Amino acid sequence: MMYYLMERVNGSLQEWQKTHDMKLYQNINSGRTRISYSYYPQFWIDMRKRPTFEEALVHLIKRSRPLENTNQTVLVAGGVQWLNPDHLQIIHKVLKRENLLDILVIIKSIGMGFHLPVHGIRSLSPVQVKQLSGENRLILKTAKLYGYEVVDTFSITMGRYKEFLQGKCGCHFHEVLKSKQVKERKMKLLKNYTFFGKIFPHVYDNLSYLKSLYHVQGPVNQVYSEILLSRMCT
């Protein structure tokens, strides 16, 4: 989602890498916007040494300062499977302590990527999926109590198994192509596609995207990334 938004705002994507760490970008929106990103949880670290969610959030805030305590500062938090209502409580506690309660917080809910019946990846039974749906509703309810915006990726990804792009992480509804691949595939792709009765144009119909070194592709990812963008710009 982050790289999609970078490409959307800048009109091109000149830098991309698999991000399982902290990254800072200052070349967004002609230098007027900065993006800080932190990957959580760092599952490859021993449990006893792994940073907690609160520690990761505090570290991200400190690395991102100076920050304005206004809705011009946006915190987006979410995870495919680990997010639960307790994390929202931690977000509120940390923001209060850091004097950032007036920033815009957007919660990206649970996704179905890890839970789809894809060969080679663990999946959930129908009963477990129902339980997961209940957990997601609780996340949305808790977010509303704190006044946070939400992007309900669970409902978007629930039935979109055909767009699931299996990779080593097994949770993605997008892929990043190099510019040469974009040009090769461009003629093979439909000009528009429909999602919930709404027509979405493929972003690479705009010729400026063909000048990118990279392009983020995936209709499901595009839909919830555009929703995220609309939450930021409301």
Write out pLDDT tens, residues 37-82.
998 888 778 888 899 999 999 999 999 999 999 999 999 998 777 8
How far is the C-alpha of 4 from the C-alpha of 225, rounded, in Å? 7
pLDDT computed for residue 71 by the predictor: 95
Structure tokens at 206: 């705009």
Residue 171 confidence (pLDDT) above 80? no
What φ, ψ does residue 37 adopt, rounded to 5°? Answer: -135, 140
Residue 230 lies in a domain: no
CATH code of residue 150: 3.40.50
Domain of residue 25, residue span: 2-173
Mean model confidence pLDDT for the chain: 81
Residue 134 lies in a domain: yes
Percent of the chain whose pLDDT exceeds 70 = 74
- pLDDT class for 178, splitting at 50, 70, 90? confident
- β-pairing verdict for 104-108 and 149-151: parallel
pLDDT computed for residue 200 by the predictor: 56
pLDDT computed for residue 62 by the predictor: 96
Query: Are the CB atoms for 54 and 85 separated by under 8 Å?
Result: no
Residue 168 lies in a domain: yes
Using one digit for the tens of pLDDT, what is the confidence trace for 142-162? 999 999 999 999 988 887 766
Residue 219 lies in a domain: no
pLDDT computed for residue 18 by the predictor: 66
Structure tokens at 165: 């792009």
Residue range 153-179: average pLDDT?
71
Using one digit for the tens of pLDDT, what is the confidence trace for 123-138? 778 888 888 899 999 9
Residue range 13-34: average pLDDT?
81
Highest mean predicted confidence (pLDDT) among 19-33, 143-157, 213-227:
143-157
> pTM of the full predicted structure?
0.81
Residue 66 lies in a domain: yes
pLDDT computed for residue 88 by the predictor: 98
Residue range 202-231: average pLDDT?
74
Residue 199 lies in a domain: no
Structure tokens at 205: 């119909």
Structure tokens at 18: 């698999």
Residue 233 lies in a domain: no
C-alpha dist (Å) from residue 191 to 175, 177, 187, 216? 18, 18, 9, 16
Residue 218 lies in a domain: no
pLDDT computed for residue 164 by the predictor: 66
- The count of domains in the chain is 1
Residue 8 confidence (pLDDT) above 50? yes
